Structures are given as structure tokens and as C-alpha cells.
């Protein structure tokens, strides 16, 4: 983990409220899908805490994140210009584990970018990948072309049925004929809860990346704890954000 000032190479609106920010890096090369960075968006008092974002791309002296503008921190981030430098802590957290066998990737909302990063990396080892991604409606679909590049089958679900399967990713998962051995998921907590239940029923090993509120990002402030099956509380930032679904209470 390093704390360093990185220069912004690009910060661009890519769709609706989503932006992609790219930083110039020299020694941020050992990032793995599922890990995140904690960005100090302002040196002033507000927003006081750093904001965590999953890594979307890393390599060639670049690091990128795709973020959704939802509040004061991300609003301020969206106004940052090329050439400005931001204080970045990372890479943080434990990544998705590399498991053998066929894989299903499940994502929604701001969970789409880290799962796309994972898909690109898994494809390099020749795995069969089914991707199942969900959105409220057709206009909110994000990174479809990227998912098409590494997915042997791409299933898109929209709540209103305006594109793909009507319903949630869980409706789509319930329609699968063949169930892969391993699932990786990131997205809103209700979706992750439902994935956990589905995985238990189908006997799938599922790895969830939790996006709890967090402060420090490295296990000191304890603002992101979740209950582990061993009865103890664990920090999402340090012991996670990726956990085996049945190991944590969400």
C-alpha cells in the first residue's frame, strides 16, 4: 500500500452520471481485480474522508477508475482537470481469488467496472465466462461492449424489460441451464444478498465484493465492519472487500 500524489491524465463523463478518471502511475503495477484505491478528493475540510473506488484498469503506467456522481465527493471529483494531482492510497483490500472451472460474473450499479476488470483478467487464462449484468433500464446500460469482449455469454437484465431479460440479475440466474462452479459478484447490497442465497441453493462458490461505507481503507477506523461466520466482526476494507458469500452476514 502506498500513499502518493498521482497526476490525472483524463477525467471524462462516459455515460449519464458515470465518469472515468485515469491517473499516471509509475509503480502501481501490482493491482488485482477486486482491489480499490482511497482518494483524497479535497485537501480542504469537506469532504473530510477519502472516498473508495474499485480499480477498473491498471498497467502501462496508468490506473483508472469508473465512478458514479452521487454526492459531494464524486461531484468534486468530476470537476478535477487533467494535470491536477490527487492523493491516492492503494492498492487496498484483498482481490477476487482465482478459482478453477467455469465462471459466472454478476454485477450491477457501481459494481460493473471492477467486474469488467476481473473478466478481462480471467479471460487471459482461457476460462469460459458467463456474465450477467443488471440495470434499471436500457439507458443505464454500462460497458456492454467491454463485457462482450471477454464473455462467452452475456446476459443483460433490466428491471423494466427495456433491454434483455425483464427483471433482476437473480431472475436471469434462475433461467440458467448450466450452473458454473464459481461466481464473482459486485453491486448493491440487496443484489449481493440475493446472489448469496442463490449460490447457497445451487451450491456455487460465490465471491462477493462488498461496498460498505468506509473511512480509512486499511482497518483502523472500523467503520466498515461486517459479521463473519466465526462470530467476529471483520473490516471490509482490510479483510475484504471480497469475501466468500457464505462467510459473511450482509
Ligand X SMILES: Cc1cc2nc3c(=O)[nH]c(=O)nc-3n(C[C@H](O)[C@H](O)[C@H](O)COP(=O)(O)OP(=O)(O)OC[C@H]3O[C@@H](n4cnc5c(N)ncnc54)[C@H](O)[C@@H]3O)c2cc1C
In the bound complex, what is the minimum distance in angstroms from residue 13's beta carbon to ligand X?
Answer: 13
Q: Per CB under 6 A, does 36 bind ligand X?
A: yes
Q: What's the CA gap between 130 and 106, in Å, rounded?
A: 9
Q: Per CB under 6 A, does 110 bind ligand X?
A: yes
Q: Which of 105, 241, 242, 248 binds ligand X (CB under 6 A)?
A: 241
Alpha helices in 33-181 (DSSP H): 72-78, 112-123, 144-150, 169-173
Helix (H, G, I), strand (E, B) or coil at 140: helix
Q: Which is nearer to ligand X, 32 or 180 (CB)?
A: 32
Q: Per CB under 6 A, does 34 bind ligand X?
A: no
List the x/- string, 178-217, binding to ligand X by CB under 6 A: ---------------------------------xxxx---
Q: Which is nearer to ligand X, 169 or 180 (CB)?
A: 169
Q: Per CB under 6 A, does 107 bind ligand X?
A: no
Residue whose CB is nearest to ligand X in the complex, by number: 71
**CB-count burial class (<10 Å; 0-12, 13-18, 19+) for 212:** middle
Residue 63 neighbours by CB under 8 Å, 6+ apart:
6, 22, 23, 25, 28, 31, 37, 55, 57, 88
Q: What's the CA gap between 17 and 6, in Å, rounded?
A: 23
Binding residues for ligand X, rule CB under 6 A, total 23
Q: Per CB under 6 A, does 167 bind ligand X?
A: no
Q: How far is CA 17 from CA 10, 13, 130, in A?
A: 16, 7, 27
Reduced DSSP (H G I as helix, E B as strand, rest coil) percent helix, strand, coil of the chain, to 5: 20, 35, 40
Q: Which of 28, 32, 33, 51 binds ligand X (CB under 6 A)?
A: 51
Q: Which is nearer to ligand X, 53 or 198 (CB)?
A: 53
The residue behind cell 448493491 is: 188
Q: Per CB under 6 A, does 53 bind ligand X?
A: yes
Q: How far is CA 166 from CA 16, 110, 162, 193, in A?
A: 21, 20, 7, 20
Q: Which of 8, 10, 47, 165 binds ligand X (CB under 6 A)?
A: 47
List the x/- string, 63-92, binding to ligand X by CB under 6 A: --xxxx-xxxxx------------------
Q: Per CB under 6 A, does 97 bind ligand X?
A: no
Binding site for ligand X (CB under 6 A): 36, 47, 51-54, 65-68, 70-74, 110, 113-114, 211-214, 241
Amino acid at each position: 500500500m502506498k500513499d502518493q500524489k498521482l497526476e490525472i491524465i483524463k477525467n471524462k463523463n462516459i455515460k449519464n452520471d458515470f465518469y472515468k478518471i485515469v491517473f499516471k502511475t509509475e509503480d502501481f503495477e501490482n493491482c488485482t481485480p477486486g482491489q480499490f484505491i482511497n482518494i483524497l478528493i479535497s485537501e480542504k475540510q469537506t469532504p473530510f474522508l477519502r472516498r473508495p473506488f474499485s480499480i477498473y484498469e491498471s498497467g502501462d503506467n496508468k490506473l483508472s477508475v469508473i465512478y458514479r456522481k452521487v454526492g459531494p465527493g464524486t461531484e468534486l471529483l468530476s470537476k478535477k482537470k487533467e494535470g491536477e494531482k490527487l492523493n491516492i492510497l492503494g492498492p487496498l483490500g484483498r482481490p477476487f481469488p482465482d478459482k478453477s472451472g467455469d465462471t459466472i460474473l454478476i454485477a450491477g450499479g457501481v459494481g460493473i467496472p471492477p467486474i469488467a476488470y476481473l473478466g478481462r483478467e480471467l479471460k487471459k487464462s482461457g476460462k469460459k465466462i458467463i456474465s450477467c449484468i443488471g440495470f434499471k433500464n436500457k439507458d443505464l446500460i454500462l460497458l456492454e461492449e467491454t463485457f462482450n469482449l471477454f464473455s462467452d455469454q452475456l446476459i443483460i437484465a433490466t428491471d423494466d424489460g427495456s433491454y434483455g431479460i425483464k427483471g433482476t440479475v437473480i431472475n436471469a440466474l434462475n433461467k440458467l441451464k448450466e450452473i458454473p462452479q464459481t461466481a464473482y459478484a459486485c453491486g448493491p447490497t440487496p443484489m449481493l444478498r440475493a446472489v448469496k442465497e442463490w449460490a447457497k441453493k445451487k451450491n456455487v462458490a460465490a465471491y462477493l465484493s462488498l461496498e460498505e461505507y468506509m473511512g480509512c481503507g486499511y482497518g483502523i477506523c472500523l467503520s466498515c465492519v461486517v459479521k463473519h461466520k466465526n462470530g467476529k466482526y471483520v473490516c471490509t476494507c482490510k479483510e475484504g472487500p471480497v469475501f466468500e458469500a457464505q462467510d459473511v452476514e450482509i
